[in-house]
Amino acid sequence: MMTSTTVRTSEAVLREESPQRGPGRARRRRTPVTWVRGGGLSTLVIALPLLLVFGLFSWFPIVRAVVMSFQFTNLVTPAEWVGLENFTYVLSDPLLTTAVRNTLWFALLALVLGYPVPLVAAVLMSEVRRMRGLYAALAYLPVVVPPVVAVLLWKTFYSASETGVFNTIAGWFGLGPFPWLQDQAWAMPSLVLEATWAAAGGTVIIYLAALTGVAPELYDAAEVDGAGVWRKVWHVTMPQLRGVLFVTFILQIIGTAQVFTEPYLFTGGGPANSTTTVLLMIYNYAFGGRGDYGAATALSLLLALVLAVLSAVYFKLTSRWSS
């Protein structure tokens, strides 16, 4: 027996309220009364708190940042309009090249190390039949640890002395001692290692959820065709996860482009600017010395612009593949 719904669809409402709509009929004029009757007022009332909160805490700071990027201000003395000077200043800052290079290096390392790890972990976990929940919980545990606590913990592990935790472990295998954070070449990979450990759990959960959506019949069919584990992963799992993989990829790029916590807490951008990222540079403009909020907001906007363009291009390029 078919059930009928009492919930009116928007089209139904529209049809009822526009009986004369159609060729040869005069279009009914929209008035405030029809707007209220059509549910406009209640929609607005429901949306208003959300709009206010968003306006105050999300949109207003963005607008304020745009305004400040054209000003010279220290938040106390009258702000001075300086046109594009902040933008030319940050673009001519010799540290910007270093910061962009470091950010790209972090992004690349995080991609190479951090992108496949959760995927492999999720696929392996999905294959395990017993205690899958325990493994998922263990993988997610680092995400629960507050980032500052995690970094301070790892900072101790990264002690460059022979008695440091990681160096002691390396010593068991006749390796090290390694300088970890105390060397310009080692510092960034050390940061990426911790960042991967800290963030992988969240992505594992996303992949695990996506994997449950893969129809078991596909695996059965593949098995019937004689596919092994590797071929099942490559020909069934990966194509089925394609949409999620694209999204996590761009999220990872955006996330790594905005990396701040690790370089700020581990190294302060050192040694010798080898871990200074774009976001750390923005922070230092604003809070490192003089409080140059104009330069900080200018660079923030430039970063946002680059990421927006990157995201748009990425989705344009991949829309065909992911659909």
* Residue 254 Cα distances to 71, 123, 174, 304, angstroms: 27, 24, 39, 9
CA-CA distance, 230 to 124, in Å (whole number)? 11
Segment interacting with other proteins (CB under 8 A) among 99-107, 132-140, 142-150, 153-161: 153-161
Contacts of 189 (CB under 8 A, 6+ apart): 109
CA-CA distance, 210 to 92, in Å (whole number)? 45
* 256: three-class secondary structure by DSSP: helix
Structure tokens at 223: 């098995």
| Interaction of residue 49 with other proteins, rule CB under 8 A | no
Q: Which of residues 219-258 bind other proteins (CB under 8 A)?
A: none
Q: Which of residues 50-89 bind other proteins (CB under 8 A)?
A: 55, 59-60, 63-64, 67-68, 71, 73-79, 89
* Amino acid code (one letter) for 244: V
| Interaction of residue 97 with other proteins, rule CB under 8 A | no
| Interaction of residue 299 with other proteins, rule CB under 8 A | no
Phi, psi dihedral angles at 81 (to 5 degrees): -75, 130
Residue 178: its H or E element: none
CB of 199 to other proteins, least distance (A): 23
Report the residue from 18, 168, 182, 311 that binds other proteins according to the rule CB under 8 A. 182
CA-CA distance, 268 to 80, in Å (whole number)? 31
Segment interacting with other proteins (CB under 8 A) among 129-137, 201-209, 246-254, 282-290: 282-290
| Interaction of residue 267 with other proteins, rule CB under 8 A | yes
Segment interacting with other proteins (CB under 8 A) among 16-24, 111-119, 221-229, 285-293: 285-293
Name the residue nearer to other proteins (CB basis): 115 or 158.
158
| Interacting residue ranges for other proteins, rule: CB under 8 A | 55, 59-60, 63-64, 67-68, 71, 73-79, 89, 94-95, 159-161, 179, 181-184, 267-273, 284, 287-293
